[in-house]
Amino acid sequence: DTGVSQDPRHKITKRGQNVTFRCDPISEHNRLYWYRQTLGQGPEFLTYFQNEAQLEKSRLLSDRFSAERPKGSFSTLEIQRTEQGDSAMYLCASSLVGSDSTDTQYFGPGTRLTVL
Amino acid sequence: RKEVEQDPGPFNVPEGATVAFNCTYSNSASQSFFWYRQDCRKEPKLLMSVYSSGNEDGRFTAQLNRASQYISLLIRDSKLSDSATYLCVVNPGTASKLTFGTGTRLQVTL
């Protein structure tokens, strides 16, 4: 499968614990995005990378959230001191930006986080 | 006001019906527009991009009216497999981040 992959697919944790999610984009894609989706809502933008540089962060991304893309390939999203309000589906997307590309974003299957 | 507004539905239609979804967006500087489809507990998947000239892909037709900041999706001859949530999506023009509507749920029945 050459699509976007995410790991784990499901995570249940207790309030106050730290969690880390991983996203592997489509191999030649230079942009990687993180979104969060709660029940009954559309995905909301959190942050994005172009190669290894984190270029924008949403106001939704509190200081408990941190994202990295150290080698410009896979990315990790860490949530520290989780709260029940962090329960959501965390979606990763990737795209190819260039002179002859359409910058279409392709989404991974998501990581569903439940904070007890 | 939400950046992208959609009627959440649900729209319950019989197989073979034609159904139309509408969407409005608030940022007049928005650059590009899309419809994504999302099945229950799955990731969003691109259905089609939307152009000012209108575009068609089989049974699906999308239209954009920049003056009214309005986007539409028409599905003809609905199939059971069209049952899903349809997300109206706008790129506000900054760094390609997407802004999603809440989605319109479609249920096609026999």
**pLDDT per position as a tens digit, B10-52:** 999 999 999 999 999 999 988 889 999 999 989 999 999 998 8
Whether residue B96 and residue A108 make contact (CB cut-off 8 A), yes or no, is no
- Residue type present at position B27: N
**What does the pLDDT read at residue B48?**
94
Neighbours of B34 (CB within 10 A): 21
Give chain B's mean pLDDT: 92
**Backbone CA torsion sign across B44, B48, B52, B58:** negative
Neighbours of B43 (CB within 10 A): 22
According to DSSP, the β-strands at B70-75 and A106-107 are: unpaired
**pLDDT per position as a tens digit, A89-112:** 999 999 988 766 667 899 999 999
The answer to whether the beta carbons of residues A44 and A35 sit under 8 Å apart is yes
Q: Is B98 on the interface with A (CB under 8 A)?
A: yes
Instruction: Check residue A2 and report its DSSP letter.
Output: -
Which of B88, B97, B100, B105 is best to mutate for the A interface (most A CBs within 10 A)?
A: B97
Whether residue B46 and residue A105 make contact (CB cut-off 8 A), yes or no, is yes
Instruction: Give the pLDDT band of residue B94 (cuts 50, 70, 90).
Output: low
Share of chain B above pLDDT 70, in %: 98
Which of A106, A107, A113, A114 is best to mutate for the B interface (most B CBs within 10 A)?
A: A107
Instruction: Give the pLDDT band of residue B53 (cuts 50, 70, 90).
Output: confident
Whether residue A42 and residue B42 make contact (CB cut-off 8 A), yes or no, is no
Burial class (CB in 10 A: 0-12, 13-18, 19+), B42: middle
- Residues in chain B, overall count: 110
Residues A12 and A85: their CA atoms lie apart, in Å, by: 13
**What does the pLDDT read at residue B5?**
95
Whether residue A43 and residue B44 make contact (CB cut-off 8 A), yes or no, is yes
Q: Is A29 on the interface with B (CB under 8 A)?
A: no
Which segments in chain A show pLDDT lower than 50? none
